[in-house]
Every structure is written in structure tokens, then in C-alpha cells.
Structure 1
Amino acid sequence: MEKKKHIHIISHTHWDREWYLPYEKHHVLLVKLVDQLLETLDRDEHFRSFHLDGQTIILDDYLQVRPEMREKLQKYIKDGRIQIGPWYILQDEFLTSSEANIRNLQYGMKDALQWGGISKVGYFPDSFGNMGQAPQILKQAGIEAAVFGRGVKPTGFNNMVSDVDMYESPYSEMFWRSPDGSAVLGVLFANWYCNGIEIPADKEEAAVYWEQKIAALEKYASTNHHLMMNGCDHQPIQTNLSKAIQTAEQLYPDIQFVHSNFNDYLAELMTTLPKDLKYIDGELRSQQTDGWGTLVNTASARIYLKQMNQRGQVLLEKVAEPLATFAYMTGEEYPHHLFTYAWKTLMQNHPHDSICGCSVDEVHREMETRFEKSKHVAEMIVDEKLTQISDKIDTTGFAPFGAEAVPFTVFNTTGWERTGVVSVTVDVKSEYFSEGVNKEALKSFPLNDREIVDQDGNVIPFTMEDLGIAFDYDLPNDRFRQPYMARRVQLSFEAHAVPALGYKTYAFVKKETTLPETESLIVNDREAENEWLHVKIEENGSLTVTDKTMNRTFTDLLIYEDSGDIGNEYMYKQPDGEENLTTKNSKAKVHILKDTPFEAAFEIIHEWELPRGANELLAQEQKEVIPFMNRIAQRVEETVPFKIKTVLTIEKNSKGITVSTTFNNQAKDHRLRALFPTDVETSVHYADSIFEIAKRNNVPADEWTNPSNCQHQQAFVSVCNQSEGLTIANLGLNEYEVLQDGRNTIALTLLRAVGELGDWGYFPTPEAQCLGEHTVTFRIYPHTGDCIETNAYQDAYQFQIPWVAKQTGIHEGTLPTVHSFIEWNAEHLSLSSVKVAEGSGDIMVRWFNTANQEDQLTIHSCGREQCYRSNVIEENVEMLPLNENGNWQAPVQPYEIITVGLERKEYHQ
């Protein structure tokens, strides 16, 4: 090993776009910073390099104000003096979806290459924990190393790093390995990403500075190549750095000081690594720390933002992109430009201080606008593509039902065949203003003589809500807007066996048959059942659920729990000595909401009282910046009403129970959870994470002292063993805890209300108290065996994705009434995305293997000419062979993320 020390000084600024200041105030500071950077690069040829925080959005933000500086920026990026990428933004990995993480990398790398250079390092300086599949994602993108600040060493507020030996690795360098076995070099900011901040140019000051810094570097470094990060949060450029480096060289002639960048530093580091570097596996969540600095409770700060994000992500990646791909397969244009705009607008809400809900109120108000903007673009794409596809479906089979027949198509954009209750809004009669509107005729249009039929003429049980007459309009591509009035109804029915990545067409027609009487799912005023489940609502509103397939009963499900919270947006802290409040001993009102052949619903009402908030001591402790762990405030005795309305829904052919809970929160400083005792004997549980179903311990490590052990989730959490289990799916509820109560209870956080940002000062956030009306939705799914082998996860993933439908007319077409655009099968793969690559025009389909065993992916060729294995940045890696049946096959390794490119000349526009 080379004995001479090399200290690599990387100048940077960690740039939170918004945090303790609103975006535009940070924006002004950013413009000043980049101006100063360019001036320094112009003036000082020895200022060799600056790392622009790994996110290309900084360039867009700067050029909004300084467009005239584009050429100069481009020059310094091409010269390597400004290092950019590989991300578009520095995201929170656990609170953004799998595909959002991929899009972030795709757009960031594309932007960086267009600018003329890329910093090829997985840059995670301040992520609040790191996803386990990051090494696999990075390797597929051609990136061999990652640097990160959290996950394997205690790191707290205000960039405070505990001076303890690192638990997972003795060195700041290690190999980080994904569940599939992919590994990259991992470099921990053992002394944080500001360990080289403000290097003195004065010789005496520098001597003291370097004596401390070199000792700190040597404590954890495995080689003689040491990393000094010259910058910090919103840190201005050190304009005299060249002089400071000269001073250091004079003081330490035996040390080589290099004004470096990550590409050069990592290249040299990799040639000197020792053979005893440790491997760390999977998620980096600081689980071997005391648990007080994980910042995990950002998963429940401002839950309304998480719900908006979940809806926005799903609409783009699970609805709009697949529909646009289906339309593309029929010859329509794929709107790459609109997707880029919608994705980038959405991802502007994905930085850790934004989506985590740990900023000042102004930041999160602006986020709501961005969510709406992205959603509106996605909705326009969805509507256009639904129309384009529906117009190509041959619906002439419904012509015998008469001119008043109203065909409509139900789309399933999930990866598996789907059965479920669908609500569709259709216009049974329309009259355009240009042709004259007879409102009375529309109002009196008969509706009771109608029924729903499928493509084979089978009559489908349904319910109808008359929406009366409605104003609407068309926006044709070739003429002025066309307003009209319509008689509108909402139809609800069970769509059965709609093919994966496809659709099924129905029609609302004149009645020809009379359906026989069908049995209700209702047993009595508190019980319902279908083929698989029996549900009883107890006096206190909790559920007793029996899985009839294994004769296993779960009790005390859906008890609500409330506790005080004197923490902040980052971390939950219950007042000392407080006992939780629950609805266990309450009495709930119950009544039947729906009783149809295909669906039963109950409303459960709890009239509850909660403490109004914390006492005045909390405000004093906050203003005095008392660390949240040391606070002694309590909740007041005065209470406010807290009414909970719970709607419980059971469908005829569903193995799950859907719950929608509504409440008007007028209490402060508290946390509301729903409890699901599993009584399943196991020491581990499973949570949906980024491209994996992560296996986690129920009991934390010995170092853990925090009474709370909350965790992140995406679609679901599951407690199970080989014979039984309970899975709780959610829509935008990213925090859960498996309680150490002897029952392995799943606690799902529904609301957390706090009044300050936290971290390094006093920043009041009254809007984080989340006062007002809230509705949260989740799903209870009992099952035999573990969640993977029994496919419980399929239900949880489908639960995330809304049904979409489109009314059409009677017309000829090239598409059949029932169709799947892409047919595939594999035992343990989960579909992640279907989209079109912008560069090649090929269709890209991505899955991930949920199991620890090899799987076989089969894709039905359906006349396509080429199929190849790709990667996360949509490159052609290798062609796939056809099997004896003329279909493509690809072996998929345990936990592998696999992307396949489908090529056909007809797709290319």
C-alpha cells in the first residue's frame, strides 16, 4: 500500500432547495452562490473543481434567473471544473416510489450528459436512511461507488456525528451489497460532509485545524486516500481555498493535498483498498444506533403530503405511462415532453426536506401546488390515451342492443389479472349547445329499464346513482370547444377477470333480461362474509376477522390509539409517563351503508375526546431550543371532540377488507394510529420498500434505546410465518411499527401533529399540526403462509392503482373488446413499470423478483420482432432468445431488478 497520505479536498455545497426558508429565498441565495462560483473559476485557475451537490436541478434553478450564464456553465462542466449529476434532485429514497427513484436517476444522467459531464458516484449525502437496492440500481447504471452520510453511524440534528466506533464497519470505506448480490464501494462521510469546511489560509490557524482534521480522518480511513468535504448546507464558496491548500502543503510537505472531485478520488481510492473491507448488506437505516437520530418519523410528518405524492406517483407511473404505451402500440405518439415536465414537477417535491414534511409551512404550501400541476398534466395524458385506445376498439358487438347502448371500457394497468368493484360515470344521453339542448327531455330520460352487459352479452349486477343533468364540453383538435348537456349516471359493478395490462369492454343497454335474486354479503347489522372472509364488528368498533380458508381468526383489529407528541417534524417523542388512549373500551355506532350482490359496506362511528394539546411548557421548551429528548412537557387535561367515521368495505370476490377513515383533527401535539394485533409467532416481518420486500427484525438491536421503533413502508407491511399472516396495505401512509406487546401488533400511523420543524434552531410550523378534515385509506389482508408465497403482495400492489374507464361509442375498430397489450408470466416477479424509451422508441417493461430464488420470466411475443434485456437507464444489454413456443424467456436472479426492451418497427414514430 502506498504510504504517502493523499487528502482529497472536494469543494461543494449541500443545497436544500427549500427547508428553513421558502424556496424562493433559498433560490436567491443559490443565484448568489453560483455567481460566486463562476467568478472564482474565472479568477483562480488553481480552483480546480466544484461538486454541485449531485443534482442537476440546481442548473435549471440558476438559469431561471441567470439565463445569460448558460454558455459559461456549459464550458466549466465540459472542462470538468463543475461536477454535476447523477441525480435530478437529492431525493428521500424511502418516501419516493421505486420508479420515482429510477426516473430521478434517468433524468439526472440525461441532463448531465447533455451538459457535457457527469459525476459517476451514487451521491446520498443526507438521505434519511438508504434503500437496500441502491447498489444494484447504481451498478446497472454503470456507477461503481456510493457516498452517504447516514445509515451505519449515529448522526443527529445540526450535522452532529457521534464520536463512536462505527457499528457495521470499522472503516469509512466498505462494500455495500444489495439483496441480489450486486455490490459497490461505499464511502461513509464518517466525519460528515462538512469535515473540510472553511479551511484556514492563516498558518497558525491552519496548524491547529489540520492537526484535528487529520486525526479524525485517520481514525476511520482504510487507505492513505482521505476525503475532505469543503462545504456544508448552503455553504458559500471558499474563495481563498487555493491559498489555504498552499498553506497546508507548507505545513505538511509529506502529505499530498489535492483539490479533487469524486471521479478522480474514487479512481485512486479503488487502487489502494485493503482486503479486509467489510460488506454491509441491504438497507442502511441506523438500526444499530440508539434510535434517536434516524429521522424516521418524517414518514408521518404532514401525512397529507405523502398521500398527494402517492396519488401523483401512481397516476404517472402506473396509469399514464402504461396507457400511453398501449396507445403507442396502436400507432399513437408517446408524449415524452409531457412526461418529462410532469415527472420533473413532481420530483421537485421529492428532496428529503420537502417530501419528508420537515420544512417551514411556506415550503409545504408550495408543494401542494406542484402536486396539483403534475397531476393535471398526468390527467390530460390519461384522458387523451383512453380516448385514443377506446376509439380503436371494435364495439359493433353491442349494436344489436340498439342506438341507445352506451359502451365503456374498463382498463387494468396492473401486472396481474384483476377483479374488483368499479365505479364508472357515463352519459346516457347528450345534447350539444350547437344543436339545441332540451333540458326537460334530458331530465325525464328513462333510466330504470337498463342493465350492464359484457362483450358476450352476460348481464352484470350493478347499482346506479343518478347524477342528473350535467354541463360538460369537448375540446376537439380541429375546431372550437363544443359545450353540451348530458344526463349522467354513475354505475358500480364488479369487473371480473380484466386482463393484466389490458382492458375489458362493457355496455349500458336497454334491459332484455331479469337477473335472479342474488344473496347479500350482509349476515346481520354487524357482520358480513364472502367466500374467503367473515367479518364481525364488535361493540367497541374493532373487527374480528376469520380467514375461512385456514379457519384462523384475528381479533381486536382496528382499535384506534392516540398519544402525545412533544417532538418535531423529524422525530416522535411521547411525554414521559403518559399512557396511550385507545378506543378499546369505547362503544361505537354501526350501520349498513351498502348492501349489493357484489359489495357490502358498514359505517363505524367513534365519538371520542382527545387532549387539546401540550401544555404551555412545550412552547417554552421549543423557543429555548431544548432538545426534544430532554423535554418534560405534558398534554393538558382539557379535551376536544374527535369523531372518527370508519367505512368498512367487503367485495364479493376479494380476500381483503378496505377501510376508509375520516376525522376532523382539532387536537395538537399528538399521534393517531390504527392497531392490528396479529398474534403471529415470528421474530421478523416484511415491508414493501424500494424494489424489494424488505425483511426486518421485530426487535431492534441492543444499542437501541428509543421506546419507539417506527419504520418506513411503501405499499404494505406484513407479519407472517410459514402458516399464517396478516398484511396491512395503505395509500400514502408510510409509517408503521411492529409493537413489542406480545401480540406482534402492527401499528399504522394515520396522523402526526406537531408544531415545530426541529433540527438546529427554533422554526415554528403551526400547519404541521394538520388541523382539519382528513381521510386515510388502508386494507386488511389475512392469509395463509408468508406474503410472497401466497401472493398477498399482489393484492397490496393492485390496491395502490385505481381502475380507469372510458365511455365510447358504437364503432368498428382494430382492437377486440377484451385485450392484453403485453402478456407475461413469472412466479415471483412484480411488475414495476411500462413505458417507452425516449432515445430508442422501444417499449421498456420492468419487474423485480420479490423472492430469494431464481425465477423465469416469459414474455409472449405477439408478433414483436426483437426483445432484449436492458437496465435501469434503458440500454440494450443482450438479446433474449425465443423458447420452443415462440416466446421470450429470461432467467431472473433472486431479488433482481430486470428491465426488458420490446422492439418493433411499427412502434417507432
Structure 2
Amino acid sequence: MKNTIHVIAHTHWDYEWYFTSNESFIQLCYHVDEVITALEEGILDYYMLDGQTSIVEDYLEANPDKQARFMKLVENGKLKIGPWYTQSDQMIVRGESLVRNLQIGMELGNTFGGTDLLGYIPDAFGQSIDMPKICHQMGIDKAVFWRGLSSDTMKQREFFWESEDGSRVMAYNIKDGYFVGVQLIENDNVHALMEQIKTDTVSSHVALPIGGDQRYVDMNLKDRMHHFNENLEDDELIESHYDKLFEGIMEEKSDLPSVQGELLNAQVSKIHRSIYSTRYDHKYLNDKVERRLIYQVEPLMAIADHIGIPYKQDLLDKVWKLTLRNHAHDSAGGCNSDKTNRSILQRLTEADELSYSLIDYLTRKISESRENIKPNQMTVFNTLPVRKEKRLNLKVSLVNSDFAIYHKGEKIPYQLVNMTECSNDPIRRDVKPASESLYHEMEILVPVTLEPLGYDVLDIVEGEQGEIASPEQNDMIGSEPVSIENDYYKIMCEDGRVDVFDKVTDIWYRDFLFLEDSGDDGDNYDYSPPMHDNVLKLDFSNANAQAEQGKIERSITLSGYFNVPLNLTERVEGQFNSQIPYECTISTRTDDQSINVRLDMENKAFDHRMRLVVNGDVKTDESIADTPFGTISRPVRDPNLENWREKGWKEEPSGIYPMLNFVNVHDSGKSITAFSKGMKEYEIVGSDGKGIALTLFRAVGYLGKPDLIRRPGVASGNQFRYIETPDSQMQQHMTFKWSLVVGRNFNAADAFDHYQHYAVSVPYYQHQSLNAFTNTLKYFVMQPLSETVPDTLSLLDASHSKHIVLSSVKMARDKTGLVVRFFNPADKDVYDSGEMVCRQQIDYWHVINMAENEELSSRYRDPTIQLGGFKPKEIKTVYIRF
């Protein structure tokens, strides 16, 4: 029986890269015209438009006259589109972003004639451990990918790829790349090509993708196939698509093996396992936008909808689309030209402004529509469905600097952080403001317990003595010791060293925090050490130190300069002519088991990498990091590190790995977890006891460079020309924020809960008329709702859920009800995950899939929702109709 070679005509359309999306868009318009003509005239039988609908949306917006013809081809199965909106990175993009990507992509695909339900990922830099269950819940049961699979994991190309919860997809690995079939067009080496694509296959059905990056339509494909078929005896080429390929494989009823885990090895293609620190400014801003959209905007819009402010799904999708266009593998990685990275930064800025403005508008609208508004009241919003004991950081505007704060009739303490005198007089040259126009802008810390998924009110009473927890301030310089402590830790800075005493385990962690600076001879794709490096340990010697001992928050602020080599030449010569100014604040709150750190830095050096080292002295051979919907355990030392060159791998399998928001190391007696806002890369360091190195940033000057120590051979990206990227030298001010938890043991669900507590801020609005600039449009009047809303509200309480993680709260995409998603982050069963209580009257609830189009359980009317058991790493989505 002959092998059936499925010739699959396609293009891989990089949205942007060393070119901008605008530059690529012009070619796209003419390219799709050619695709339509080729399919209508029978020049091609099928064509695949790269599995992403953003380019379809762009094309049809500019070519509306082609929409009917385009849709007819899709409806007839000739033109394959979707399911993605953009071909997303999977390593540093949040799980809910991947879900929105597929939801929006599939809806658009259906609008344009029908979505191809194939998990098609031709070029992403590795495959996430969670992709099988994401695909399964979105109704996708087949996947095709290129990068990341090594033969020590799976030798053959056809297999089942599984998640720990039992979800699986049938996978096909195009290990020779999505461009391998171009050989059919460009040369006559018939048998060599057949041998190449059949290597490691077990099925008689074999894929031959014909396409490439921005490749034109091969109008002579039928002629070339005919030529090949005339010279083949054991194989027959047919025009096809991936659905036909999988049908053929399944008809053979072969017993295919299964694989679990992430696919992040560089045996058959580069994987760029250090791209997670390229363009930190992008990573930081994208992380902030994702966090705001998922944990604040979507829940807040659901709260607003419940009280009469219509839910605007199209408006929300506009912000999501701006964000998702930055998630394509090149865009998310930052491996682009400077002009392209500027476009990415602009889109991120637009998404940041839109999402922030959504919060501003809704918090104000709700606050100014409440039933019983009093002067200076503060409406505070808990956008998570769990009761939270928060230390709110609020900014208030008052005439009187003496004031008291009440919550539910009880006076509560606060700590004054900063106070500035301001005026609301019109500004005039050389005219002092009138005394009656003066007021105070104050930043305060307030401990308060917030009810879940709703809003509450703080009463601010001017002229009354409040319970003020004022800090004491001590200034010290150089080697004098400075210390702060709370219920869990004592933190001391002495002789430039930061030491931490953990009161729970009675252990001193000496030299706990410092920075490491090394040379970087890499490019926008990868870190690579220079031939002659000089790795520096940077502590806080000669720093100016200031300690504040507040009753709510205590902090140490260290400021000074790090002296580092200006460039690689100075690094070799042992010169240190670049001074990098910094300010580092280490803070902790009274009964909080976290150490929060903020580092501000002005980079003035070139071709270097800076990392934060958390020196934990933990006896371990593995790390645990978060993934889109769970955690993953990774070896400290990759087993292929010793002989990767001999095996012919494309790059060194370093211990550098991606994380979304946290990484942990622990042993039988110690546990250290580092949580970050925007830092996406870590490595476990240390010879005996292990610590965590978080990459702060990399400063490099080229898109791609050849012959790197970690990545031999041709340059990544454009192989024929050096493309300078001076913007990627990161000559700018940067802010880094992280939180550390030290203790005896590690629990994955607790880690996610801590991250949300740390990273998700509380939106608020003060009802006052002194300061017209508390948010962007406060200067202008706002019409309250025609009917007043309750003074306080709580929709849903999941405070009694246990061992599972809240993933998102949002309106269903059809706007008929509320969708709440949880997952089990651990690789063991949860037999009882507790309950969730609806605090408003409901019609019914049931469990649905991620695509929100399939009911997975019966409908129930009990307002107390028993969440039940969770398989290892299982995801559950609950739909509630109020």
C-alpha cells in the first residue's frame, strides 16, 4: 500500500517581525486576493491561512468587496481559517489570555464562514504543558506544531498529547518545519524529500506543508505534484488539509503513544529559552494590562451590568484585541526591529489607557449613582469573589489634614504615607493661590476587610482625630545597621548585605538579596555570555539607608549607584565606568507573610544582563513555576546539558526557564517563593544550596547574531544581515516589583492566592470636588444613572473554596450570565473544593466548557454551589444566571 502524502498549501503570516504590521499588511491584501483567485479557479483545491483570524479581520476591513467570495470558500471547506485570533506565545502569556485569544478567534472565524477546529501552532517558541486541556475545553481535539519536541520525549511524529486531568488531543509534529514542502516547488530531489518527511512516522498518512513566512501562492503546485507522482512508486501526493490527514491516521486505528508535559527542547529547532527577558519594558506593561483586564476590568464590568450599566462586550474585545496582537510569538518575545517594537509598545500603551479608563469610568459611575452619598466618602471595589483583608493604598483629597475613617460604623486606623498641599485656583503666573483654595492630597494605608465581588463604602470625617499609625523615620548611611520586622520576619541591612530572619522556621537567611551583573553577547532572541566575562555581585554597600517603622507598614529604602562596565570592552579590561543609579524599597506589613520589594533603576550600560538573586540555600534539584492553568516542576539541571552539541541540538538547554508570576524552591524544611510583576524569566543557581535568580533585564543591540556560545550557527531571525536594535539596549528608567514568601513548605493553591492578594489592587473613587484630577476625566461632569444603586453590593462569595485557584470572573460572551473559572494547580486530586455562594437571587447555574457553548452538567437552582472534586490540574467553569 502506498503512503499518502498530504500536500497542504498554506502561508505562515508573521503579523510583524523585523518589519512592522503595516508594512506586512499591504502584501497581505494582495496575497489573499491571489488565494481567492487560486481557489475559485481550481489552481488550488485547499489553502490554509495560518490559523489566525486577525489577518482575516484586517484583510476584510480593507477589502469589504471580497467578503462574500471569501466566506463562500470558507463555507465550502476550501479555505481554512482560525481558531486563533493571533498565533500566541504560550510561555509568558496568561491562561485567560490564551482563552480569550481562542474565543475571539473562533467567533470571528464562524462569522467569516466557519472556524477550523485545529490547534495549529506552527512557529511558537515551545508548547505549554496546559495546551491539551485548553484545546479540549475549546472543542479542539487535534493539534499541529513544530518546535519543542525532542526524541527523548517522543521519537515519532504522531501521538496523543495529554494533560494531567486526562484531557488530550491527537498531535502531529511537523518536525521539519512548516516550510519543508517548498523543496517540492524548488528542486527535483523527489526521493530525498520523501525520505525526510517520512522519518519517524508510523502512519502511512504523512504531512507535507507547502508554505513559508509571507510566502506567495504556489500557482504551479499541481504541476509539481504531478511531476513528483510520476517519479514515485511507494508514495502518492494528494492535495489535502490537516483534517484529512488526521482522518487518515485515525482510520488506521493505530495504538498511538501519549506524552504529557511542556515541550521546550531545541533538538529540531531553536526554542530561545532566554527570550523571556528581552525588552523587559514590554513584558512589564503587557503583564500589567493582562492582570488589569482579567482581575479588574472584566469583574467590574460584570458588577456594573448587574446594577444597570450595560455590559459592552465589543468594547472589551477592542481592548483584548489590542493586547492579543502583542501575543504573537515574535511580538511577545520582543525579537523584532526597533520600529516594530515601538509599534508593540504603542499598542500596549493604548490597551493600558483603555483598560485604565474603563475602571475610572465604571468606579465613578457607580459611586456617583449610589443611594446615600456623603461628602468625602470612598467607594472601594473588590473585583475578586473572595473576602479580602487588604491594606489599601489610597489617595484622598481633603481640606483638613485631620480626619477619621469609618467602615461599617467603626473607626479604623490608617497610616499616613505622604501629604502634599495643593490648590484648586486657576494657575496664574507669579500669583499665589488664595488660602481658601488650598487642600491636601494625602496617600494613606488603611487595613479593611472587603466583601467579595462588589463594593463597599469608607466614611471619611474631616476635623475629627483619626487613629493614625504614623511611622518613625531613621536615616543611616554606609555600614550602620538598619532593620524592620513584623510577625513573620526580621529584615536587616548591614554592610551592604540584606539578611532575613524567618520567625516561623527560626532560620537566618544571610546575604538574602543581591544583584548580579554579567556581560551579554546575545541578541533579541537569546542571552549568551561573552567569550571573556566578568560577573559582578552587586550589593548595597555605601547605600543611603532610610527606615520607616509604621504600625501598618515598615520599610527600608536603599539608594545609591551600582558601578558596572560600560560595555563588553570595559568588562574584559576590568573597568567600571558606568554608574547605574537605583532606589530599592523593602517593605513588609504587620501580619503579612510577604516581603515586598520595589527597585527603580536607570540603566546606563550596554550589552549586559542584570539579575536579582534570592539566596535561599535550599537543598533541591527542581523548581516549581506557574503555568497558564497550573504549575510545573522542572529540573535545576537539564539532563541534555552535557551532550547537547554531540546530539546536534540547536541551542544549549540552559537552566533558564519561563514563569508567569512565581517560582518556588523548597526542601523538607525550607520554602522560598518569588512573585513578580512583569519579570518572566528565572534560573535556579547555587552549587550546594539553591537560590532563585530572576532576570531583571537584558540590554543587547542586535535583532540576531550568529555563532553565539549558547546558540551556534547562523543568526536567528534574518540570517543575512545584522539588524541593529539600539532601543533594546534599554537605556531607560525601569521599575521592578516582586514579593517574597519564606517559610517551611510550599502549597500551589496558596501561592496563587498570595499572588492575587499581592498583585491585584483595589479600584476606588472618592466623592469630592476639591481635586478634579483624581482620574483622567474627573475634570468633566458625569451623569449618574437614572435610578440609584445600592450603597453596598456583593454578588458572589467563593471565600470557602479550598485547594483550588480562581482564574477569572466575567460575563458570558453572550451577555446572559456570569462565568466563574477555577482550576486545581496541583498534580493530585482535590476531593472537596468547597463551595461558592450566590449573594443575589439566581435563576440557575451549571458547569460549562471554556468555549461557553456546551453544558457539562445539569442545571441547578441552589444558590450554594458545591464545587466538588477536581482531577489533577483540572479546570472547571461555572455559569450563573441571576
TM-score, normalised on structure 1?
0.86
**Structure 1 CA distance, aligned partners of 2:411 and 2:863?**
33
Spell out the pairing of 1:419-430 with structure 2 (5 A cutoff).
419-428=389-398
Paired AA for residue 407 in structure 2: D
Paired AA for residue 468 in structure 1: C
Deviation string, structure 1 residues 440-464 (Cα, Å, up to 9, x no partner): xxxxx4x133122212231322315
**Structure 1 CA distance, aligned partners of 2:305 and 2:204?**
54
Paired AA for residue 817 in structure 2: D
Paired AA for residue 732 in structure 1: G
What SS is found at the alignment partner of 1:90? Answer: coil
Q: Is the 8 A contact 2:838 2:863 kept in 1?
A: no
Q: CA deviation at 1:470?
A: 4.6
**Structure 1 CA distance, aligned partners of 2:466 and 2:90?**
54
**Structure 2 CA distance, aligned partners of 1:423 and 1:859?**
28
Check 1:772–1:886 CA distance in 2 against 1; reply closer, same or farther (3 A cut): closer
Spell out the pairing of 1:245-256 with structure 2 (5 A cutoff).
245-252=225-232, 255-256=235-236
Aligned match of 1:736 = 682
Is 1:491 equivalent to 2:443 in the alignment? Answer: yes
Check 1:886–1:641 CA distance in 2 against 1; reply closer, same or farther (3 A cut): closer
**Structure 2 CA distance, aligned partners of 1:485 and 1:352?**
53
Check 1:46–1:366 CA distance in 2 against 1; reply closer, same or farther (3 A cut): closer
Deviation string, structure 1 residues 689-725 (Cα, Å, up to 9, x no partner): 1111211112211345538421000111111135420
Deviation string, structure 1 residues 125-151 (Cα, Å, up to 9, x no partner): 111111111101111111111111111
Aligned match of 1:196 = 181
Is 1:610 equivalent to 2:610 in the alignment? Answer: no
Aligned match of 2:265 = 286
Check 1:793–1:554 CA distance in 2 against 1; reply closer, same or farther (3 A cut): farther
What SS is found at the alignment partner of 2:197? Answer: helix
Q: CA deviation at 1:391?
A: 4.1
Q: CA deviation at 1:366?
A: 0.8
**Structure 2 CA distance, aligned partners of 1:546 and 1:692?**
30
Check 1:57–1:362 CA distance in 2 against 1; reply closer, same or farther (3 A cut): same
Aligned match of 1:536 = 492
**Structure 1 CA distance, aligned partners of 2:468 and 2:13?**
66
Is 1:656 equivalent to 2:594 in the alignment? Answer: yes
Compare 816-825 and 488-497 and name the one that shifted more.
816-825
Q: Is the 8 A contact 2:390 2:450 kept in 1?
A: no
Q: Which of 329, 349, 352 is matched with 1:372 structurally?
A: 349
Q: Is the 8 A contact 1:867 1:902 kept in 2?
A: yes
Aligned match of 1:641 = 579
Check 1:460–1:516 CA distance in 2 against 1; reply closer, same or farther (3 A cut): closer
Q: Is the 8 A contact 1:450 1:508 kept in 2?
A: yes
Aligned match of 1:455 = 408
Q: Is the 8 A contact 1:783 1:792 kept in 2?
A: no
**Structure 2 CA distance, aligned partners of 1:510 and 1:638?**
54
**Structure 2 CA distance, aligned partners of 1:195 and 1:707?**
25
Is 1:827 equivalent to 2:783 in the alignment? Answer: no
Deviation string, structure 1 residues 581-623 (Cα, Å, up to 9, x no partner): 0125x6132422644321122211242221111249xxxxxxx
Q: CA deviation at 1:661?
A: 0.9
**Structure 2 CA distance, aligned partners of 1:54 and 1:646?**
45
Compare 525-534 and 304-313 and name the one that shifted more.
525-534
Q: Which of 845, 855, 864 is matched with 1:877 structurally?
A: 855
Deviation string, structure 1 residues 67-125 (Cα, Å, up to 9, x no partner): 32222211211121110000000011112111110000000110111111222111111
Q: CA deviation at 1:379?
A: 2.1
Q: Is the 8 A contact 1:859 1:889 kept in 2?
A: yes
Paired AA for residue 424 in structure 1: L
Is 1:56 equivalent to 2:2 in the alignment? Answer: no
What SS is found at the alignment partner of 2:736? Answer: strand
Q: Which of 763, 767, 774 is matched with 2:734 structurally?
A: 774
Compare 698-707 and 672-681 and name the one that shifted more.
698-707
Q: Is the 8 A contact 1:395 1:407 kept in 2?
A: no
Q: Which of 479, 501, 508 is matched with 2:460 structurally?
A: 508
Q: Is the 8 A contact 1:613 1:635 kept in 2?
A: no
Aligned match of 1:350 = 327
Aligned match of 1:853 = 829
Aligned match of 1:25 = 23
Check 1:128–1:452 CA distance in 2 against 1; reply closer, same or farther (3 A cut): same
Q: CA deviation at 1:300?
A: 0.3
Paired AA for residue 245 in structure 2: Y
Paired AA for residue 335 in structure 1: K
Q: CA deviation at 1:884?
A: 8.7
Aligned match of 1:407 = 377
Q: CA deviation at 1:520?
A: 6.3
Q: Which of 151, 169, 175 is matched with 2:160 structurally?
A: 175
Q: Is the 8 A contact 2:471 2:551 kept in 1?
A: yes
**Structure 1 CA distance, aligned partners of 2:278 and 2:422?**
41
What SS is found at the alignment partner of 2:396? Answer: strand
Spell out the pairing of 1:670-689 with structure 2 (5 A cutoff).
670-689=608-627
**Structure 2 CA distance, aligned partners of 1:142 and 1:702?**
35
Q: CA deviation at 1:507?
A: 1.9
Q: Which of 805, 810, 818 is matched with 2:764 structurally?
A: 805
Is 1:384 equivalent to 2:343 in the alignment? Answer: no
Deviation string, structure 1 residues 525-561 (Cα, Å, up to 9, x no partner): 6111111221111311x32112212222222122110
Check 1:338–1:885 CA distance in 2 against 1; reply closer, same or farther (3 A cut): closer
**Structure 1 CA distance, aligned partners of 2:552 and 2:702?**
47
Check 1:556–1:820 CA distance in 2 against 1; reply closer, same or farther (3 A cut): farther
Check 1:579–1:42 CA distance in 2 against 1; reply closer, same or farther (3 A cut): same
Q: Is the 8 A contact 2:456 2:791 kept in 1?
A: no
Q: Is the 8 A contact 1:522 1:529 kept in 2?
A: no
Check 1:178–1:109 CA distance in 2 against 1; reply closer, same or farther (3 A cut): same
Q: Is the 8 A contact 1:425 1:488 kept in 2?
A: no
Q: Structure 1: which 5+ runs fail to align?
A: 154-165, 400-404, 429-444, 473-483, 617-632, 905-909
**Structure 2 CA distance, aligned partners of 1:249 and 1:218?**
16
Aligned-CA RMSD value: 2.7
Compare 348-357 and 449-458 and name the one that shifted more.
449-458
Q: Structure 2: which 5+ runs fail to align?
A: 427-435, 645-651, 705-715, 770-783
Is 1:556 equivalent to 2:531 in the alignment? Answer: no
Q: CA deviation at 1:893?
A: 1.9
Aligned match of 1:439 = none
Q: CA deviation at 1:517?
A: 7.2
**Structure 2 CA distance, aligned partners of 1:636 and 1:512?**
61
Aligned match of 1:185 = 170
Aligned match of 1:235 = 215
TM-score, normalised on structure 2?
0.89
Deviation string, structure 1 residues 311-355 (Cα, Å, up to 9, x no partner): 111121111101011111223211111101110011111111111
**Structure 1 CA distance, aligned partners of 2:581 and 2:768?**
46
Spell out the pairing of 1:109-128 with structure 2 (5 A cutoff).
109-128=106-125
Q: CA deviation at 1:236?
A: 1.1
Q: Which of 36, 40, 44 is matched with 1:42 structurally?
A: 40
Q: Is the 8 A contact 2:415 2:468 kept in 1?
A: no
What SS is found at the alignment partner of 1:825? Answer: coil
Aligned match of 2:536 = 581
Q: Is the 8 A contact 1:715 1:797 kept in 2?
A: no
Q: Is the 8 A contact 1:871 1:898 kept in 2?
A: yes
Q: CA deviation at 1:514?
A: 5.6
Is 1:305 equivalent to 2:259 in the alignment? Answer: no
Q: How many residues align?
A: 827
